[in-house]
Structure 1
Amino acid sequence: MRSFILSVALVASATPAAAHYVAVPVAKSAMKVPLGGVIWQCGDTGCTAGATTSRPETVCASFARKMGAVSAFAAGGRDFDAAALEKCNARAKS
């Protein structure tokens, strides 16, 4: 759990203030990904995206379907707990 919080904190501190969503995919990627009406910017420490009207759970599931399982996810500064991450990762690509 401590590494989860540290991962999200590191990604959040290295991202623009406009970032609303922060995801740390298990498989690292460095690219821009259009997904669900927002552009995800991915780098060595994770991915960030601006706000959208979708629910955070929907955004996480959509991200996991496209990018694979996440080790951390936050929306509006609120970290997903283990149960929410498990539900999100159930949608991850195989």
Structure 2
Amino acid sequence: MTLTLPSSFKPAAVVAALAYTTLTFGVALTPSPAEAASVPFYRAEVTTVAEGKARPIASGMVWKCTETVCTAGEASSRPAIVCARLAKEVGPLTAFTAGGKAFEAEELARCNGK
């Protein structure tokens, strides 16, 4: 059995089909904003979250805080600024991580204003 293409075959149609397939796979594999937001970029540990501060707003982001951990997605500010603003809002932080990189003791002290 030999496969042949009709004489009216247009190579542009193949290129268009391949382009469409590539784009649809890209869209299907790209995480939705909800999925991207579910993975926190920032993670802060506090001694305790004050009453009524379970969802503080710092650096233009709403943070989600449990008893001793606050998390948020990525912001446009530098991590040191984000850390300082959160510490001002919820109190001293015992640890702060931005994009998987933990702050050293000196950076954390500056963040807490010490």
Task: Give the TM bin, normalised by the shorter chain.
Answer: 0.7 to 0.9
Please give the root-mean-square deviation of Cα atoms over the aligned residues, in Å. Answer: 1.8
Gaps of 5+ in 2: 1-36
| Higher fraction of strand | 1
| Higher fraction of helix | 2
How many pairs were matched up? Answer: 76
Contact 2:48 2:68 in 1 (8 A): no
Which residue pairs with 2:71 in the alignment? 48
Question: Using the alignment, how far apart are the partners of 1:21 and 1:48 within structure 2?
Answer: 5
Which residue pairs with 1:7 in the alignment? none
Determine which structure has greater relative contact order: mean sequence separation of CA pairs < 8 Å that are 6+ residues apart, divided by chain length: 1
Gaps of 5+ in 1: 1-15
Question: Using the alignment, how far apart are the partners of 1:56 and 1:72 within structure 2?
Answer: 13
Question: Using the alignment, how far apart are the partners of 1:31 and 1:66 within structure 2?
Answer: 11
Which runs of structure 1 show a deviation greater than 3 angstroms over 4 or more consecutive aligned residues?
A: none
Question: Which residue identity is paired with 1:28?
Answer: V
Does 2:94 correspond to 1:85?
Answer: no
Which residue pairs with 1:28 in the alignment? 49
TM-score (structure 2 length as normaliser): 0.61
